[in-house]
């Protein structure tokens, strides 16, 4: 327990690490749209279970595309480029989530899921890489343990809230609020990164 407390103190003293974990918590809340997707496809649309299974194909394909794209870009991206991609990926995910629950044809639904999945996995891969670079190797295991608790906790809470809300108000309506959250979180991330860079420049100049 003492080692875990040391990890919390370490993260508390490193704002950038804390902000990356906060970003990932927001991404995982958006990722909870998957539980709502199950309700939407099986209950609201009345599709068979095999259709839901087929929709896992663009979900997995998005992860493959994200892995290839991030692998190619990671070496050439500057710090500024990385946080920009992170921010806009979250914005894109928010927009894609709304499209998922408003697309009528199955093909449109599959394409929207592909975009949402690509954006989600891109942001996740970049965030994990960022945490590895920011963390002292001596604290890396503790940082990732705390990250796992925080992100899975936010995902579980997101699933609970979204599942209940979808049953009460319908998944299409809830998706708009979730999409707005994703866009707002992405823009807030971009704003906070710009502010951090300005603060750094002021510190260097003084």
Domain boundaries, the chain: 2-205
Confidence of residue 19 (pLDDT cuts 50, 70, 90): very high
Spatial neighbors of 135 by CB under 8 A, at least 6 apart, are 17, 143, 144
User: pLDDT digit string (tens) for 56-99?
Assistant: 999 999 999 999 988 888 777 777 788 899 999 999 999 999 99
Q: List the alpha helices (DSSP H) in 101-139.
A: 106-134
The pLDDT, as a whole number, for residue 80 is 79
Q: Which fold has domain 2-205?
A: Growth Hormone; Chain: A; (1.20.1250)
pTM for the predicted model, two decimal places: 0.89
User: pLDDT digit string (tens) for 32-64?
Assistant: 999 999 999 999 999 999 999 999 999 999 999
Intra-chain end-to-end CA distance of the chain, in Å: 41
The pLDDT, as a whole number, for residue 152 is 95
Distance CA 128, CA 157 (A): 21
């Amino acid at each position: 327990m003492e080692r875990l407390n040391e990890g919390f103190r370490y993260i508390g003293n490193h704002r950038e690490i804390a902000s990356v974990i906060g970003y990932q918590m927001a991404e995982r809340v958006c990722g909870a749209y998957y539980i709502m997707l199950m309700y939407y496809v099986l209950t609201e649309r009345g599709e068979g279970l095999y259709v839901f299974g087929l929709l896992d194909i663009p979900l997995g394909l998005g992860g493959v595309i994200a892995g290839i794209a991030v692998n190619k870009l990671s070496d050439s991206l500057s710090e500024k480029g990385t946080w920009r991609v992170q921010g806009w990926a979250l914005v894109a995910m928010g927009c894609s989530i709304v499209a998922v629950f408003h697309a009528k044809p199955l093909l449109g639904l599959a394409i929207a899921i592909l975009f949402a999945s690509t954006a989600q996995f891109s942001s996740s891969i970049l965030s994990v890489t960022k945490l590895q670079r920011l963390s002292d190797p001596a604290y890396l295991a503790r940082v990732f343990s705390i990250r796992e608790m925080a992100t899975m906790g936010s995902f579980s809470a997101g699933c609970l809230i979204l599942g209940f809300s979808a049953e009460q108000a319908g998944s299409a309506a809830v998706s708009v609020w979730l999409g707005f959250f994703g866009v707002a979180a992405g823009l807030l991330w971009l704003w906070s990164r710009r502010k951090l860079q300005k603060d750094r420049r002021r510190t260097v100049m003084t």
